[in-house]
Amino acid sequence: MATIINGKELAQKIRNELKTDVENLRNQGIVPKLAVIMVGDDKASEIYVRNKSRACNELGIEFEEFLEDKDITQKELLDLIDELNERKDIHGILLQSPIPEHLNIREAFSRISAKKDVDGFNPINVGKLVIGEDAFVSCTPYGVIKMLEEYNIDIEGKRAVVIGRSNIVGKPVAQCLLNKNATVTICHSKTKHIQEIVKEADIIIAAVGKPKFVTENMVKEGAVVIDVGINRNEEGKLIGDVDFENVETKASYITPVPGGVGPMTVAMLMNNVVKAAKQ
């Protein structure tokens, strides 16, 4: 039976440590502040933004929300980002995705100053991650690595397989694992023989967005299984990409959904805001 990695507990521990950092900053007259831009009224985004705002409140980080109309133009969005880049009281800027399709999200992410890019989506931070320089690492991949480290799971020399190659999860998590000296394979929708490839993995990162995609027969005995997926089943219950009940019996470590990677993502965002304020 696998050890269940408790993301909720770990995230709380990280937030407690950050609270002290925030207090120290405040004593020096620096009040860390996060600005969140949300465009339109995506229901899931509203929940994510609420969680981020709560975490800020708990830590003493100021939070300012910019709720923009779904019809905002690209120019208006870029002007808002420029304004926030200029503001001295704001240390971190986050553009909540998704945004309406008429807007160019890549251009918007690139416009956020690399120094305030707490989500790590500006190409400067992505590039720094690739060449191994200090960067803002995007929060979900960062949370995944932090979990492995906190549970003393060896990464160096291990065979890691990442399922998914999105710019926000799959690619950066693969890069983080490579930076930690794992041998990394990235699988995606065009990958052939995915089952055999995943079965060779010591560490499996599932970031597909498909319920129960990773089944017991794809998992090597003793593998570490990290489930990034967030899906809803027919009853509306949150489930991951991994068939948890069956994979749990084969894995050495496994993350649950909910209570795994999700809370870590928010904790690492707080970490990045504190880092930006320190800089």
The residue sitting closest to ligand NAP, measured at its beta carbon, is 166
One residue of 189, 215, 217, 249 binding ligand NAP per CB under 6 A: 189
CB 34, CB 56: distance < 8 Å: yes
Can residue 198 be called a binding residue for ligand NAP (CB under 6 A)?
no
Compare residues 67 and 238 and give the one whose CB is closer to ligand NAP: 238
Can residue 168 be called a binding residue for ligand NAP (CB under 6 A)?
yes
Q: Is the dihedral of CA 115, 118, 120, 123 positive or negative?
A: negative
**Which region, judged by CB under 6 A, interacts with ligand NAP, from 20-28, 64-72, 175-183, 205-213?**
205-213
Can residue 8 be called a binding residue for ligand NAP (CB under 6 A)?
no
One residue of 43, 75, 88, 190 binding ligand NAP per CB under 6 A: 190
Compare residues 90 and 227 and give the one whose CB is closer to ligand NAP: 227
CB 204, CB 219: distance < 8 Å: yes
Exposed e or buried b for every residue in 169-202, given b needs 16+ CB within 10 A?
bbbbbbbbbbbbebebbbbeeeeeebeebbeebb
Residue that has been written with the tokens 């521990």 in this structure: 13
Radius of gyration for the chain, computed over Cα atoms and rounded to the nearest angstrom: 19
Q: Tell me how far apart the alpha carbons of residues 277 and 123 are, in angstroms, rounded to a whole number.
A: 21
- The active-site residue, picked from 21, 33, 116, 119, is 119
CB 97, CB 87: distance < 8 Å: no
Concerning whether 180 is annotated as a catalytic residue, the answer is: no
At closest approach, how far in Å is the CB of 30 from ligand NAP? 28
Concerning whether 279 is annotated as a catalytic residue, the answer is: no
Concerning whether 74 is annotated as a catalytic residue, the answer is: no
Q: Which residues are catalytically annotated?
A: 52, 96, 119
Residues that bind ligand NAP (CB under 6 A): 140, 163-166, 168-170, 187-191, 194, 207-210, 228-231, 261-262, 265
